[in-house]
Amino acid sequence: MSELGCSTISFCHRPLPEALAAISALGMSGIDLGGLPGVCEHIPTPLDRDPDDIVEDVRTARLDTWAINVDPGPLNDPALDDEALVHTGTGLVSLAARLGAALIVPCGAPSRTPFVDESADLARMANRLRLLGNVAADSDVRLLVEGLHHHRFCHSAERARALLDLTPVEVAGFVFDVSHVVAGEIDEVALAREFAERIEHVHLRDAEPGEINLSIGRGRADFAGVVRELSAQGYTGRYVLELETHDVDEGDRVEVAAQARETISALLPT
């Protein structure tokens, strides 16, 4: 049976202990822990210090960490040194292992423009996913890639397909973020059907074409259709509210997140 959790990115403007307390108050036991520079810095990147305080905060909150969502560097950038990537990745993998979590990384730089050309950039990204995948596997950590992101290199279904073709399942699983699919004017139900065999984690936020930061129910995402399709394809994995939204006041964020929890919980198979 699928589970519903919440990312600390949903409360990215709050210190980590406050974000964890808010999620716990929602009655959820599973989290993604965010570490994306400029978005959510609950995990600093690079992780250049002992993360004992992070681990202690999570354990004190009595929450299970399903994944850490971090950015070890723009994987399609020729200027990124592979040795530096492995060094950064090793620290992040170590944290994921301590928390019993998967490691999520994004699909390239925050730009749609290739550094060289589309084919070369995709090949470089796939090779670096292999590097990170090897580091992760040595610590029994599962590597996942958010393989379609409206504001990153793999912004389209075509590039996401190409990346998965170059990245075997033993290297990395696929994170399906509904908001990025909808923002790109891609049929979210059809893409869920197409990618179902590779999807290992689902992020939920609402969207309109070109806009990814809407609360559940305030955009045009067909969450019922996505859940129904993934269930039909045998998906029993986790769904995570990643409510980095721009349409609510901070004081209303917990209440709106609770509404999202109720909406999505009603859709999940029991």
Residue 25 lies in a domain: yes
Q: Is residue 250 part of a domain?
A: yes
Q: Domain containing 86: what range? A: 3-265
Residue 100 lies in a domain: yes
User: Is residue 270 assigned to a domain?
Assistant: no
pLDDT, average across residues 65-73? 97
- Asked if residue 107 is part of any domain, the answer here is yes
Digit-coded pLDDT (tens) for 107-153: 999 999 999 999 999 999 999 999 999 999 999 999 999 999 999 99
Residue 101 lies in a domain: yes
To the nearest whole number, what is the mean pLDDT of the chain?
97
Report CA-CA distances (Å) from 35 to 42, 76, 88, 123. 5, 19, 13, 25
Asked whether residue 16 is assigned to any structural domain, the reply reads: yes
What's the confidence (pLDDT) of residue 49? 78
pLDDT in tens, 145-195: 999 999 999 999 999 999 999 999 999 999 999 999 999 999 999 999 999
What pLDDT is attached to residue 73? 96
The count of domains in the chain is 1
Query: What is the spatial distance between Cα 109 and Cα 111, in angstroms, rounded to a whole number?
Result: 5
Q: Is residue 29 part of a domain?
A: yes
CATH of the domain at 108: 3.20.20.150
Is the overall model pTM greater than 0.95, yes or no? yes
